[in-house]
Amino acid sequence: MARDSSGPKNEPQYAGTGVPQDAADLTEVARYAAMVGNRKVGASSDRQALTGADVWPGLEFYETDTGLAFVYQSSTAGWVPTVRPSVNVGFNDTTNSNGILVIRHGLGVIPNWIQLTMRNTGTDSVSSIFEGIVWDSPPTSTTSVQIRFRNSTNGAWLGNNKVVGYLAAGV
């Protein structure tokens, strides 16, 4: 049957007493689906594999494996995260023999920025002279970052030392 009216989202509505039609108007159905169907769901590899007619400006994609959502902007800009995720992680651990501590951030993507803040515990005299640097720069992991700590007064790496602080990271 033919469309009798439109719903609140401009979707076609049909009354049981409408004008009879031999078959469904698939052109109308396809036009409406293209107008409102603008979100795909799958793994990040599925999103990255989309090309050509499979993508258009404004298309949204939710990654089931990372929990991130993206919007396709253009063939030059590509996919852009809809929300710029960030995390804040406290750490209180001991560095390895080379002064490196691996801190898990859990972003699910490689961070574009990292901020490290050392905490003076008040129970020792050296935590205030520790400084950390991102050791795997640029970071390559979607789950953690390596920070190498040293004594800011003499530059010595702080192997097997307790370090306390906060890591903020995001995209």
59 and 92 fall within a common domain: no
92 and 121 fall within a common domain: yes
53: containing domain: 5-81
Range name among 11-15, 41-45, 107-111, 148-152 with the lowest pLDDT average: 11-15
* pTM of the full structure: 0.55
Domain boundary (54, 81, 108) is at 81
Quickly list H helices, 3-108: 26-36, 44-49
Query: If pLDDT is split at 50, 70 and 90, which confidence band does 8 have?
Result: low
CA distance 114 to 130: 17
What's the number of domains the chain is made of?
2
66 and 108 fall within a common domain: no
30 and 93 fall within a common domain: no
More confident residue, 112 or 28: 112
CA distance 12 to 9: 9
44 and 97 fall within a common domain: no
Domain boundary (81, 107, 137) is at 81
Domain boundary (58, 81, 104) is at 81
Backbone angles phi, psi at 49, to 5 degrees: -85, -10
70 and 91 fall within a common domain: no
93 and 58 fall within a common domain: no
Contact 162, 94 (CB under 8 A): yes
Residue 138: which CATH number? 2.60.40.3940
77 and 16 fall within a common domain: yes
For all residues of the chain together, what is the average pLDDT? 83
103 and 74 fall within a common domain: no
131 and 73 fall within a common domain: no
Residue 17 has pLDDT above 80, yes or no: no
List pLDDT tens digits, range 141-150. Answer: 888 999 999 8
90 and 159 fall within a common domain: yes
List pLDDT tens digits, range 28-82. Answer: 777 777 777 789 999 999 999 999 889 989 999 999 888 789 999 999 989 988 8
